[in-house]
Structure formats: structure tokens, C-alpha cells
DNA sequence: TGATTTGTCGAGCGATTTATAAAGGTGAGT
DNA sequence: ACTCACCTTTATAAATCGCTCGACAAATCA
């Protein structure tokens, strides 16, 4: 491995400090002065390397979502061959995505939070990444529906809840810590939580009850 | 009803504008100048009525959470007498809380988002309101566990997911709109979503499968 | 009507923000 | 030893931030 150049090194220090501060105080709530001070570098370097504060934001968010989608796609394609087990597919995806978010714990919360804002960047990122996420997840649940393993449950809502189960602990880690005394970023939580998801998946796939179907008539009207 | 004084009227206009802008750009991303301009009033009035920007924030968040907890408590106590139906209790609470959040749609997203930050105010509000929310919800699920209606599922995680189902559409309305083409703030969504929750509740309460129990050993250690 | 409280306004202060231009420094390759 | 590209700092521009002050208007009360 090639040794890191000096520039690359400070670049990463800026990123580390930025993630830390953005995670705590939000994007608008953090100044590049504070970032530079935290990283122990000069203020001007942020503009120099990332083209300003907004460039830094864009870089961080794209990086996270890029890795997120890549992780999802890998887990998706790995299980493509063994078509018999949908639950296994869902569990592998959940496992990988949770591990990924644990790896970049601070960045996760920050990006997820920032994605709830109404900005041009967010809309672009949604169109680029989250649409693909939805597409892949929907495919799995539609396959399950096709095999009659689930019945009469709006697939949209299932996808939404499945995704939310994966993301929520990393969007609200402080809530989970302070109110439930759980640590979303440790291995114990991951194992417990995965079992919980596994249970959920089991329930969903075996549900042959009388839940009234509606594929949400106008859901596709747009 | 007493006619509103002039001061009260502009006060509400400031609040309306503040909620709108906070919702879009976040707290730190919104200046009191922008709020005053949006409301068509002078900048000084924000400090005059709310004691500064932070006072406005505190007022908005407390107001929302106050109403949220009050709604929860009312729904909780209304169903206290008919002890036989836990599912009904859960559904009534979900119904009321979703309706409440739809009523103050913009404020909901803003408060939920702001609650993911690491500030003194957030910690205080968590201790004051969200602990009580957890306490009440936990009581219901523990009662269900006691009656053996649910078995071997960590109550903590159930409470978390139940709460999250209620809140998520209002924390991520834009995601739901842009990716799933659903409108979290209309009546149709509410009905569909409540049926979905009803199905979830049904699954939970009827689950007598082999999910391994663990009340999360260290979960209460703090 | 005169006095008092309440509401509103424009002006501006002091601090902080991002961004950039210019200059100094460093180090690997020739 | 020299160059040149990359890295870093200093200095500063220009805008915006939250907030306060005193003057003025309007409503309320005596």
C-alpha cells in the first residue's frame, strides 16, 4: 500500500472532524472554523480541498450513500442464486446494512438526519440512491408476494417498515441510548436486533390472515 | 371567545412562519430575519415575544411534545377500563397520535428531526417527555406479556418499533412522498397506515412461536 | 382628555460566517 | 541545485448572524 501523502492525511482529518461535529450539531450548526479547529488545520483548507462547506457536505453524503447502496447490492446479488429462501435474503441484507452503518456510525446519523431536509441536494440524492434502494427491496417483497408467501399486505408499506427497521437505530441512537439504555453501535445490540428483525420477517412471510388487500390504488399514479 | 389581541395575532404569525422555515431548513439553517420577513413583521419582535431565537425553539418543541404526551395519556386512560383488549388500546393510541401529528404536520417533522441532535435542550425534553412516553407504552406491552398474549419477544424492541411506526411517516414525509408516492398528511394515508399497524398488532399479539427470549440482560443495568 | 401600557419599527452594533487572493513553505523528481 | 506541483498559512473581503436600543404608534385605562 502506498503511503498517504500529506494532503490526503489532513483531508481525512478534516473529514473525521467534520463528521463528528456535523453529527452532534448538524450541518448548519457547525462552522468550518470549528471543523478546522477540531482537526487542527487551517480554515482555508476546507475550501481548498472540498470547494467550500457545501462541497464537504456533498462529499460526505454521497460517500455514505454510495457505500450504503453498494452494500445493499452486494448482499442482494449474493443471494440471488438461492431463490428458494426469501427470508435469508432479507436477513443477509439487514445484517450487512446494519454492519455498514455501525462502521460509519456518526456519519450515518448525520446523513439520515440531513435527508429529512428540503434541499436540492437531498432531492438529487433521493432520486439517485433511495429510488434504487426501494427498487431492490420491492423486488424481494414482490417475489414473496408472487410465491404467495405473503398475502394481501401493501408491499409499499412492508418495504417502508423493513427499511425503517434498518435505519432507525442509526437515525435516533441518542433516543435509544437515553430512553432504552441500548447501545446501537455495539455488537450485542446488532445480534439482538437482527433476531428481532428475523422474527419480524418470519411473521411477515408466514402471514396468511385476513388483512384486507389494497395495493394502494393511487400509489402508482404519480 | 375573546377576540385576539394584536400582539397575540402577530405572535402566531411568527410561529407559523418559524415552523414553516424550521421545517424546511432546520433550526440553525433559518435566521430570525428570514422568519420575520416571511411573517411580514419586524425582526425585533421575535426577541420581544419569545426572548430570542432559542426561546422560540424551546417554545415550539415544548408545545409539540406537551400536546403529544397529552394526546397519548388521554388515549391511554380512555381505554384503561376495558382491560380485556390490548389491541384496541394500541390502535386507539396509534390513531390519536397519528391524527395529532397530521394536525401539526410541519411542526412534527421539525421537532422529530431536532430531537436527533445532541443539545442540552434535547436531553431535557427527552427526560421530561419521551421517558413518560416509553413508560406508558411499555406498560401496555408488559401487560400483554403478562397475559401471555405475546411471548419471548424483548418488550423494549416492541415498544421501539411501535413508537417508530407512529413517528416515522412524520419524520420522513418527504422520503415517503418522493420515493413511495404516498402522502403522509392526508386522510387516505392515515386509514391505510392504521390498517397496516392493526395488522402488525395482530401479528404481535398472536405470536406464539419460537423466538428466543432475552429481556436484554444489561438493558436495565443503567 | 391625559397618562400608561403595549405593540411595532428602522437603525445599527459587535460578533461570526464563508470564501478568496496572495504569499510562503515543503518535498519528490530531474 | 533546481524546478514545479502540491500543501499550508496569513490576511482580508463581504455578507450575515442574533440581538438591542430609542423613537413612534396604538390601544387601554384613569
| Contact (Cβ atoms closer than 8 angstroms) between residue B118 and residue B180 | no
**Is residue B219 a contact partner of residue A180, using CB atoms and an 8 Å limit?**
yes
Tell me what pLDDT residue A22 has.
96
Which DSSP string corresponds to A42-86? -THHHHHHHSSHHHHHHHHHHHHHHHHHHHHHHHHHHTSS-TT-H
What percent of chain A is predicted at pLDDT more than 90? Answer: 73
Using an 8 Å CB-CB cutoff, list chain B residues near A192: 154, 157, 214, 216
Of B160, B182, B207, the CB nearest to A156: B182
Q: What is the pLDDT of residues A145-186, one digit of tens each?
A: 888 767 678 899 999 999 999 999 999 999 999 999 999 999
Q: For residue A99, what are the contacts with CB-CB under 8 A and spacing of at least 6?
A: A190
Cβ of A108 less than 7 A from strand C:
no
pLDDT of residue B146: 84
pLDDT band at residue A61 using 50, 70 and 90 as cut-offs: very high
Q: Is the pLDDT assigned to residue A220 strictly greater than 50?
A: no
Nearest-by-Cβ selection for B175 from A115, A156, A199? A115
* Best-predicted range by mean pLDDT (A4-18, B35-49, B76-90): B35-49
Is the shortest CB-to-strand distance from B148 to strand C under 7 Å?
no
Q: At what angle do helices B187-206 and A187-206 cross, to 10 degrees?
A: 100
- pLDDT reading at B16 higher than 50: yes
Q: Check: CB of residue A116 under 8 Å from CB of residue B109.
A: yes
Report the residue count for chain A: 222
CATH architecture of B1-51: Orthogonal Bundle (1.10)
- Total residue count of chain B as it appears in this document: 222
pTM score: 0.90
- The string of pLDDT tens digits covering residues B115-133 is 999 999 999 999 999 999 9
The integer distance in angstroms from the CA atom of B22 to the C1' atom of C6 is 28
The answer to whether residue B222 scores a pLDDT higher than 80 is: no
| Sign (positive or negative) of CA dihedral B126, B129, B132, B137 | negative
Residues from chain B contacting residue A129 (CB–CB below 8 Å): none
**Confidence (pLDDT) at A222:** 32
| Number of Cβ within a 10 Å radius of residue A130 | 20
Exposure string (b/e) for B53-73, b if CB count within 10 Å is 16 or more? Answer: beebbbbbbbebbeebbebbe
Give the three-state DSSP class for B114.
helix
From the options 3.20.20.70, 3.40.50.620, 3.40.50.10310, 1.10.357.10, give the CATH code of A57-209: 1.10.357.10
Fold of domain B55-210: Tetracycline Repressor; domain 2 (1.10.357)
Q: What is the predicted pLDDT for the residue at A208?
A: 44
Whole-angstrom distance, CA of residue A77 vs CA of residue A89: 9
DSSP per position, A200-221: HHHHHHH--S-PPP---GGGG-
Predicted confidence (pLDDT) at residue B177 exceeds the cutoff of 70: yes
Q: What is the pLDDT of residue A10?
A: 84
- A174: how many CB neighbours lie within 10 A of its CB? 18
**A145 Cβ contact list (under 8 Å, min separation 6):** A151, A155
Contacts of A17 (CB under 8 A, 6+ apart): A35, A36, A38, A39
Listed by start position, the domains of chain B span 1-51, 55-210
In the block, residue with C-alpha cell 476546507: A46
Contact list, A180 vs chain B (CB under 8 Å): 134, 156, 159-160, 219
| Contact state of B209 with A193 under an 8 Å Cβ cutoff | no
* Cβ atoms of A90 and A112 closer than 8 Å: no
pLDDT tens digits along A77-135:
987 666 668 899 999 999 999 999 999 999 999 999 999 999 999 999 999 999 999 99
Tell me how close the Cα of B211 comes to any Cα of chain A, in angstroms.
6
Amino acid at each position: 500500500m502506498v503511503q498517504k501523502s500529506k494532503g490526503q492525511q489532513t483531508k481525512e482529518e478534516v473529514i473525521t472532524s467534520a463528521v463528528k461535529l456535523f453529527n452532534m450539531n448538524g450541518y448548519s450548526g457547525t462552522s468550518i472554523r470549528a471543523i478546522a479547529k477540531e482537526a487542527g488545520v487551517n480554515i482555508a483548507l476546507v475550501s481548498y480541498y472540498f470547494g467550500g462547506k457545501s462541497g464537504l457536505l456533498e462529499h460526505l453524503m454521497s460517500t455514505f450513500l454510495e457505500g450504503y447502496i453498494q452494500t445493499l447490492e452486494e448482499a442482494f446479488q449474493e443471494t440471488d442464486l438461492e431463490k428458494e429462501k426469501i427470508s435469508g435474503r432479507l436477513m443477509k441484507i439487514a445484517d450487512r446494512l446494519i454492519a455498514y452503518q455501525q462502521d460509519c456510525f456518526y456519519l450515518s446519523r448525520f446523513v439520515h438526519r440531513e435527508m429529512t431536509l428540503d434541499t436540492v441536494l437531498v432531492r438529487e440524492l433521493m432520486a439517485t440512491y433511495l429510488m434504487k434502494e426501494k427498487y431492490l427491496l420491492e423486488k424481494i417483497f414482490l417475489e414473496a408476494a408472487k410465491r404467495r408467501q405473503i398475502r394481501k399486505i401493501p408491499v409499499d408499506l412492508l418495504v417502508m417498515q423493513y427499511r425503517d427497521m434498518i435505519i432507525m437505530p442509526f437515525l435516533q441512537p441518542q433516543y435509544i441510548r437515553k430512553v432504552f439504555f441500548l447501545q446501537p453501535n455495539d455488537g450485542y445490540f446488532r445480534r439482538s436486533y437482527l433476531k428481532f428483525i428475523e422474527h419480524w420477517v418470519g411473521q411477515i412471510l408466514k402471514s396468511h390472515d385476513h388483512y384486507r388487500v389494497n395495493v394502494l390504488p393511487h400509489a402508482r399514479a404519480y
